[in-house]
Every structure is written in structure tokens, then in C-alpha cells.
Structure 1
């Protein structure tokens, strides 16, 4: 396995993280704390715990993860993990089990961070299209020996 990170990867920046799945990527928000792991804030369904979406914050392996394929930098401004978690806790978690709720939820967190002046969102429709197109081509990065594909958003700062 390689330990070389991809440019323009940066510890401490905020990323939209895409995890390869059968239909569309699972999406969360991540702040890398080292070159090999970070803190992931996302919603997920764990049917053993709840039949609906729940908010989860956890340590996420970056290098060598089988499913993490995309990291789109949306802020290099030094948003802290606590600020991200605080914003995420104010965003309503869907009360259903429908596929595809994770990206709209992540978008709402990005809006909250923008409202709190922690990042500058230039265009949500632009960001959504950019992430969809970027993550769609990244399935080849979903391997233990590949670092996720990394890019910087044109629609956030």
C-alpha cells in the first residue's frame, strides 16, 4: 500500500467525502487530522440500532480504505471538528430509510457552515453538480492501495 497522499490534500481542511456504493456514493463531511485518518461526520442507517437515519461522528481511515474514493475540498479555512459537529447537530436528520438522503443532509450542513460564516458557499447547485461529476469517475480509487481522488471545489472557499 502506498502512503503517498494526493495533491491538493491538506490536513485540517474540510472535505465532502464520497464513498463508493452500488448506486450513488455515500456522502459525508470529513476533516483529516493526519495524512491517514480524519473525523467523518455523516448520517447512516444501522438497522440494528434504528430503522432510520442517525447522525454519526467517527474516526475514518483515509489511506487504504476500500470505499472512500472522493475528497472534494470545500474549505481550507481551518474549520474545527467541534465547529463541524456543532453545525451538523443542528441539521435535521431524515426520519426515513430512503436511499440517497446523505447528500442532501450534507448540503444542509454546508449551508449551516456558510450561514455561520465558517465557509463561503458560492453556489449550491454548482457544488452539487461538481461533486456528482467528480465522484462519478472515482470508483477506481475505491481500493486499499489507492489514496482517494482529491480536488478543490470551485464553488466553496
Structure 2
């Protein structure tokens, strides 16, 4: 039997008003988008429960173990935008390049490089003068601008999230 290593199954970006801004699935065709949308929504309760106990630390660590295979990890920016990574513990076959071929569990620190890369990508999106974060808020998007979607549509950002999700593996120190 070939060894398997954890891999990213889903990356979710959730706005400060708990609205989904972006969801990426890995691999994109093999996952049920509705199932992961529900999982991301369920993570909001954990963020809310832990929020009063958090100060400057952005890493929320393990939010919840969904089952014996999937686990959700969270990170929140100082503006209230939440990043959620769902890890599939049997995600992909191990290759000779994988730093660890027999993973029993993950440490919260294993996901920090991915969260930092996601935060850098989000900051890059915010630096774009044509990107208006208020356009993606459910409080202003439909009322003032008559925009139908609150999803992030930047191709650059979507490609960065895809790159980060595919590049992450346990033991990777920088993405």
C-alpha cells in the first residue's frame, strides 16, 4: 500500500460579515462544493466562540475535526477576514520529494506557512486600486451598488489561492 500524506482539500476566505468571499476545492472536480460550503459555515461558530479569548494572535489552530479524515484550521486577520483550510489527512500519494511520508497528525504550526501566504495574497488583492473590498460586503454590495455576487473574482487572487493549496504539504516552511 502506498503511503499517503495530508493535502489541502479546501480553502475558504470568509468576509468580516461572515459572508463567503472565495472557496477553492482541491482537486476542483472531485469535491462537493455544497458540502464544503456547509463545513466553512460551521467553522464560523468556532471563530465566534474563541474570539473573546483571542488578542493579537491570528492563528486559531484546529477549529474542528470533521471526521477521521478531514480537519479544519483557521486564521483571522486584524480586519476580521477569516481564512479556513480544510485538510484531508489522506489527501494524496506520497512522493519521494515529500518531507514526511508517514504523518499521524498535524500540528497547528504546519499550516502557518499556508496561512501567511494566503494573508499575503489577500493583502496583494487589497493593494489593487481596482479592487473595492466594500463591493464584496453583503451590507453594501446589493443595496448600494446592485452587485449580484459578493465573491472575489480576481484571477490573480484565485490563481494564488490555487498555487498555495497545491504547494502546501506538512513540513513545508515557506510557500
Q: Identify whether the pair has TM-score above 0.5, normalized to the shorter chain.
A: no
Question: Which has more radius of gyration?
Answer: 2
Please state which structure has a larger fraction of its residues in helix: 2
TM (norm. structure 2) is 0.35
TM (norm. structure 1) is 0.38
